[in-house]
Amino acid sequence: MNRNDGMETSAQSNKRRHPRHDVEIQGKLSSGYHEYPVDMLDLSKSGAKLMARNGYTLPENGQMVTLTLSWPLETDRDDLSVDATVVRIENNEVSVQFDHIAASK
């Protein structure tokens, strides 16, 4: 996995509206009757980068999806779901933009 060891170039980070945070969370993307198991690689206020698990195919660019995150068993929390749109696909990674962003205080 080549992600520049978690470092973005200054050109990449200048394009970002919100800072990204490296995370390791399992989840799935759902669209219609299809489910795609994914691992979340990073997260920002406006979106996330995900990696397809086990070579699964990914939804198409522009497709509306629901991202459901599963917390580790010891957290005792319900799964979290958020609607998103696929904005980029590269190899086995997909970037999504969240559809509803709360205003900052």
| Tens-digit pLDDT profile for residues 2-39 | 444 444 444 444 465 778 888 888 999 999 899 999 99
Helices (H) then strands (E): counts for the chain:
1, 6
The token duo for 50 is 């995900």
The confidence score (pLDDT) of residue 100 equals 79
The CATH superfamily assigned to 18-98 is predicted glycosyltransferase like domains (2.40.10.220)
User: Residue 86, class by beta-carbon neighbours within 10 Å (0-12 exposed, 13-18 middle, 19+ buried)?
Assistant: buried
The confidence score (pLDDT) of residue 10 equals 42
Q: Give the chain's end-to-end CA distance (angstroms, integer).
A: 36
Q: Is the alpha carbon torsion for 88, 40, 44, 80 positive or negative?
A: positive
pLDDT digits (tens, 9 = 90+) for 57-95: 788 999 999 999 887 766 777 888 999 999 999 989 999
The confidence score (pLDDT) of residue 4 equals 44
